[in-house]
Amino acid sequence: MTVELAPAPSPTAAPAPRPRIFSGIQPSGLVHLGNDLGAIRNYVMLQFEYEAIYCIVDYHALTSTHDADVLRSRTREMAAGLLALGLDPERCTLFVQSHRPEHTELMWLLSTVTPVSWLERTPTYKDKIATQPDDVNHGLLTYPVLQAADIVIYKASLVPVGKDQAAHLELSREIVRAFNNRYGDTFPEPQAVYTPAPVVLGTDGVKKMSKSVGNTIDILGDPDVIRKQVMSMVTDTKRILRTDPGRPEVCNVCQLHRFFGDDYEDIWDGERTARTGCVDTKKLLAQRIIDHYAPARERYAELMANPAEIDGILEAGADRLKPKAQATMDEVRHRMGLR
């Protein structure tokens, strides 16, 4: 969707409140290219025009990560990654989900308007049953209810996410409708906001880029690792010989060139006419990714060397949200007959 700039306020008028947006991201290791192209670029852009709230969802991560030290360090790494990629604590609020425990209370209340059948048919739940069959915990089933609570506790109306979150967002909307129907108009129906790259494929060229598949390009990682990851990318599988013409529209490397430089059409032309080979195109992409993220990589290292700075930003974020979360909880408890 396009985002229009609000008209400049008149000098005497009180500034109109900016519409609120919310997104959450799991602390599941280093941020990868899919996270950035699919979601984080929008987080950064939207913080200039909206009241933006971003959350590192450690409660959600507990459905798959069970090592306390690992979770703690990944939470900090994710915060450093987001800040390094451009989240500005002066312009947005960044916090850790478990630092605002009201989310889990609201989850319980929302779960009472959510039919179990909606949760059982959620695609991510079915995926998890397949990928972690020995650990089908109850948190996996109620995951989308917590996600809905995250969003609506701040009455956010827009949610920047990648396309893999479409089903979760639809479920959030259904939960909001169910709540509003039963208890009266309380929450806005949240809408997803996508980037021009809502699904980034991994280095295998087939599956969505994801830490759990192991097909990521770790943009804040070591340049040598990035180079290795990009050089391992699967390209157009029908281009066997160097002299065969390539098909940029089905080649993941060519697709990613769209986001790094303004000459992708020329690069595509080189592939189509076999003027360039896949290896050259990959080398160029690797270098461009390394260069593009060099300042973020530097900032990431600085932040990681100063954990107190990260923790301070996260604590301030959670504190700032306390009155908003509590106001919603007062309203919801009252509507539901708990007060």
Q: Which residues bind ligand AMP (CB under 6 A)?
A: 25-26, 28, 34-35, 38-39, 161-162, 164-165, 198-200, 208-210
- Taking CB under 6 A as the binding criterion, the range among 2-10, 161-169, 244-252, 259-267 that sits at the site for ligand TRP is 161-169
Q: Based on the residue annotation, tell me whether 228 is a catalytic residue of this protein.
A: no
Among 20, 74, 128, 168, binds ligand TRP (CB under 6 A): 168
The first and second tokens of residue 337, run together, are 């007959």
* Residues 219/289, Cβ–Cβ less than 8 Å: yes
Smallest distance from ligand AMP to CB 25, Å:
4
Angle 214-310-43 from CA coordinates, rounded to 5°: 60
Residue with tokens 């079915």: 126
Distance between alpha carbon 306 and the CA centroid of its chain, in Å?
24
The first and second tokens of residue 244, run together, are 């065969």
β-bridge partners, 291: none
Point out the catalytic residue in the list 211, 228, 283, 322.
Answer: 211
* Residues 314/305, Cβ–Cβ less than 8 Å: no
**Which residue type sits at 242?**
R
Looking at beta carbons only, is 129 or 166 nearer to ligand AMP? Answer: 166
- Which residues, 18 to 37, sit near ligand TRP by CB under 6 A? 22-26
- Which residues, 41 to 80, sit near ligand TRP by CB under 6 A? 57, 60
Looking at beta carbons only, is 39 or 141 nearer to ligand AMP? Answer: 39
* CB neighbours of residue 202 within 10 Å: 23
- Whole-angstrom CA distances from 296 to 19, 195, 303 are 28, 20, 10
- Which of ligand AMP, ligand TRP, none does residue 199 bind (CB under 5 to 8 Å by kind)? ligand AMP
Smallest distance from ligand AMP to CB 39, Å:
4
- Which residues, 248 to 277, sit near ligand TRP by CB under 6 A? none
Residue positions annotated with a catalytic role: 128, 208, 211
